[in-house]
C-alpha cells in the first residue's frame, strides 16, 4: 500500500494498517519536509484546534494535555510523538510529491509518478492499493479575493496560510478580514500586542464560548487508568456533540436563539451590537460553529483591544480600507482570513487503463471510495464533528477490505454505480464559502446510502466496522 500524506489522517492510516494488517508492506509519501500536515503548515498567531482533543485526537493514543482546545504546536508534537511511538515514522518518505497515478487492470496495480526532493527528481512507484490521506485544501495558497485597490495599500496584506515569523503586529492597527474559525482565533491572539484589531466580516457566524480545559477529563484521569478515562471522555464529548448538532438541526430557530443569547450574556452591549455582528442569517450547523476557549474573543472585544464590523469592502486605500457604508478603516496590517482553496485527492491526475478520470463524474461511495476507481480510498472527516472520527473509521474499513481480499484471493475492489449517468441528488446543507466555490469539483452523491455519506458517527461506525463488504455494490475480482 501507498499512503499519501503524513498529517493527522496519514499517520492514523499507517498505525491502523500496521496493527490490523501486519503482513502488508507500506510507505507514506509526504510532499513537505515534515509530518503533521495542517498543524505544521499553519503558523499564524493563536492557531489551535476547533474541536476538543479527546475527539480530535486518536482513539488509540490518549491526549495528555490539560487544554481541551489545544494550541497548534502541542497538536503537532502529539502527532509526531504518535508516529514515533508506533514506529510509523520510519515508513515516511518526505519531499515526495505525487503528480499522477495510473491503474492497470491487467496488473491490478497503481503506478505513481512522483517528484522527489528539492530538485523534483521524477521517480515511479507502484502499489496494490492507494490510500489518499492528504486533506482537502491546497497547501500552496489560500483563497485570496481580488480586492479592488489592494496594490495601492501602503501596509502589508497576508493570508494566514502564508504567515511568516517576520510579521510583527506589535503596536500596529490590524484588520482581520473574515468570520470563520481562523479569524476568531487570530483576533484575540493579535490583540495581545497590536494597537487595535478590527474583525471585518461580510456576514456574522455562530460563535460559542467553551471551557479551554475539560474538568471531567481531568477528574477521570486522576481516578481511572489513562486509557479508560480517555475512552469515557471521548464518548461523553462525542455524545454531547451529536446531541447538540441533532437538536440544532431539528429545532433550528430555538438553537439559533440560544446561541445568540449566550453571546448576548457575554459581550458588553456598549462595545458590540450582538444583533448586527453575531446573529447569522443561516440555521446553526449549515456552517461549522466557531469555538472560542474561555470566551477569549469576547474578552478582547469587552476590553476595547478589538472590535467587530459587519460590512463589505469597497476598495483598499493607501491607508486602509473603504467600506460600502462609506466608513474608512486605517490599518498597518491586513490579515485576509478569507478561506481555503479546495484540492481533492491532492490534485493527482488519475487514469484507469489509460482513461483519464474526472472526479466530478464519479459517485462517492460510503464517503471514502469512488465509483469505477479500483483499489483506491480517500480519508475525509466530518463537517459537523471532529475530523479524526471519520478518518479512523475509514482506516478501519480499508483494513477490513484488504483482509477480505487476501482471504478470498481477490486482487481488485471497485464500487460500481448502477446509474453512471445519474446526477447529484439532494440539497447541499453545508455552505461555507470554500465549499460553494468548489462544488463543480466534488464527486456526485446519490439519494441514499451507500452513495450518500452520513454525517453521523454511530451510523458510520455500524456500517464501516460491521456492515457487509460484499454488498452488491463493491465489486471484487480475482
Q: What CATH homologous superfamily does 150-336 map to?
A: FAD/NAD(P)-binding domain (3.50.50.60)
pLDDT score at 434: 67
Closest CA to 92 of 37, 1, 27, 39: 27
Relative to beta strand 196-201, strand 173-177 is: parallel
pLDDT score at 366: 95
Domains 2-139+341-477 and 150-336 share a fold: yes
> What is the rounded CA–CA span in Å between residue 34 and residue 38?
11
> What is the rounded CA–CA span in Å between residue 280 and residue 408?
53
> How many Å from the N-terminal Cα to the C-terminal Cα in the chain?
18
**What single DSSP character describes residue 443?**
P
The number of angstroms, rounded, from the C-alpha of 446 to the middle of its chain's C-alpha atoms is 23
Q: What is the DSSP string of 57-89?
A: S-TTS----SBSS-BHHHHHHHHHHHHHHTT-G
Pinpoint the alpha helices (H) of 345-455.
Answer: 387-408, 433-437
pLDDT score at 431: 60
Distances from the Cα of 356 to the Cα of 240, 282, 440, angstroms: 44, 39, 17
Annotated domain spans of the chain: 2-139+341-477, 150-336
pLDDT score at 437: 75
Q: Are 435 and 454 in contact (CB under 8 A)?
A: no
pLDDT score at 239: 93
CATH of 2-139+341-477, one of 3.40.50.10540, 3.30.1280.10, 3.50.50.60, 3.90.700.10: 3.50.50.60
> Does this model's pTM top 0.75?
yes
Cell numbers 471510495: residue:
369
Positive or negative: CA dihedral 77, 58, 343, 313? negative
> What is the rounded CA–CA span in Å between residue 143 and residue 273?
29
**What is the full per-residue pLDDT of the chain (478 aa) written as tens digits?**
999 999 999 999 999 999 999 999 999 999 999 999 999 999 999 999 988 999 999 999 999 998 999 999 999 999 999 999 999 999 999 999 999 999 999 999 999 999 999 999 999 999 999 999 998 888 888 899 999 999 999 999 999 999 999 999 999 999 999 999 999 999 999 999 999 999 999 999 999 999 999 999 999 999 999 999 999 999 999 999 999 989 999 999 999 999 999 999 999 999 999 999 999 999 998 888 999 999 999 999 999 999 999 999 999 999 999 999 999 999 999 999 998 888 889 899 999 999 999 999 999 999 999 999 999 999 988 878 888 999 999 999 999 999 999 999 999 999 999 876 655 544 455 566 767 776 778 888 888 889 988 888 999 999 999 999 999 999 999 9
Amino acid at each position: 500500500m501507498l499512503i499519501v500524506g503524513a498529517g493527522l489522517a496519514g499517520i492514523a492510516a499507517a498505525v491502523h494498517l500496521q496493527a490490523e494488517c501486519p503482513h502488508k508492506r507500506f510507505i507514506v509519501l509526504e510532499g513537505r519536509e515534515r509530518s503533521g500536515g495542517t498543524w505544521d503548515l499553519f503558523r499564524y498567531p493563536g492557531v489551535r484546534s476547533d474541536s476538543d482533543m479527546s475527539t480530535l485526537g486518536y482513539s488509540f493514543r490518549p491526549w495528555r494535555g490539560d487544554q481541551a482546545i489545544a494550541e497548534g504546536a502541542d497538536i503537532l508534537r502529539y502527532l509526531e510523538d504518535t508516529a514515533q511511538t508506533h514506529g510509523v515514522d520510519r515508513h515516511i518518505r518526505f519531499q515526495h510529491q505525487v503528480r499522477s497515478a495510473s491503474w492497470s487492470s491487467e496488473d491490478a496495480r497503481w503506478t505513481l509518478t512522483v517528484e522527489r526532493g528539492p530538485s523534483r527528481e521524477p521517480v515511479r512507484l507502484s502499489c496494490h492499493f492507494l490510500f489518499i490521506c492528504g486533506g482537502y485544501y491546497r497547501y500552496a495558497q489560500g483563497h485570496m479575493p481580488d480586492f479592488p485597490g489592494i496594490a495601492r495599500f501602503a501596509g502589508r496584506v497576508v493570508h494566514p496560510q502564508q504567515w511568516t515569523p517576520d510579521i510583527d503586529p506589535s503596536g500596529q492597527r490590524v484588520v482581520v478580514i473574515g468570520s470563520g474559525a481562523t479569524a476568531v482565533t487570530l483576533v484575540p491572539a493579535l490583540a495581545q500586542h497590536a494597537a487595535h484589531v478590527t474583525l471585518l466580516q461580510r456576514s456574522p457566524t455562530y460563535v460559542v464560548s467553551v471551557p479551554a480545559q475539560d474538568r471531567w477529563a481531568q477528574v477521570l484521569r486522576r481516578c481511572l487508568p489513562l486509557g479508560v478515562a480517555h475512552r469515557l471522555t471521548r464518548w461523553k464529548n462525542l455524545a454531547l456533540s451529536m446531541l447538540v448538532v441533532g437538536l440544532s438541526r431539528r429545532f433550528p430557530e430555538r438553537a439559533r436563539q440560544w446561541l445568540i443569547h449566550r453571546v448576548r450574556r457575554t459581550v458588553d452591549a456598549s462595545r458590540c451590537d450582538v444583533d448586527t455582528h453575531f446573529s447569522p442569517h443561516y440555521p446553526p450547523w449549515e456552517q461549522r460553529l466557531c469555538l472560542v476557549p474561555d470566551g477569549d474573543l469576547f474578552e478582547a472585544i469587552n476590553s476595547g483591544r478589538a472590535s467587530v464590523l459587519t460590512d463589505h469592502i469597497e476598495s483598499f486605500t493607501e491607508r486602509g480600507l473603504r467600506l460600502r457604508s462609506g466608513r474608512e478603516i486605517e490599518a498597518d496590517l491586513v490579515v485576509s482570513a478569507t478561506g481555503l482553496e479546495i484540492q481533492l485527492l491532492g490534485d493527482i491526475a488519475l487514469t484507469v487503463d489509460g482513461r483519464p478520470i474526472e472526479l466530478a463524474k464519479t459517485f462517492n461511495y460510503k464517503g471514502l471510495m469512488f465509483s469505477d476507481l479500483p483499489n483506491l480510498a480517500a480519508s475525509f472527516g466530518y463537517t459537523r464533528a471532529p475530523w479524526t472520527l471519520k478518518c479512523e473509521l475509514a482506516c478501519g474499513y480499508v483494513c477490513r477490505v484488504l483482509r477480505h481480499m487476501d482471504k478470498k484471493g481477490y486482487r481488485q475492489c471497485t464500487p460500481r454505480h448502477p446509474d453512471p449517468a445519474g446526477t447529484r441528488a439532494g440539497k447541499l446543507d453545508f455552505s461555507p464559502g470554500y465549499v460553494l466555490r468548489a462544488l463543480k469539483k466534488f464527486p456526485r452523491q446519490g439519494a441514499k446510502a451507500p452513495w450518500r455519506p452520513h454525517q453521523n458517527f454511530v451510523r458510520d461506525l455500524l456500517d464501516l466496522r460491521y456492515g457487509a463488504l460484499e454488498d452488491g455494490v463493491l465489486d471484487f475480482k480475482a
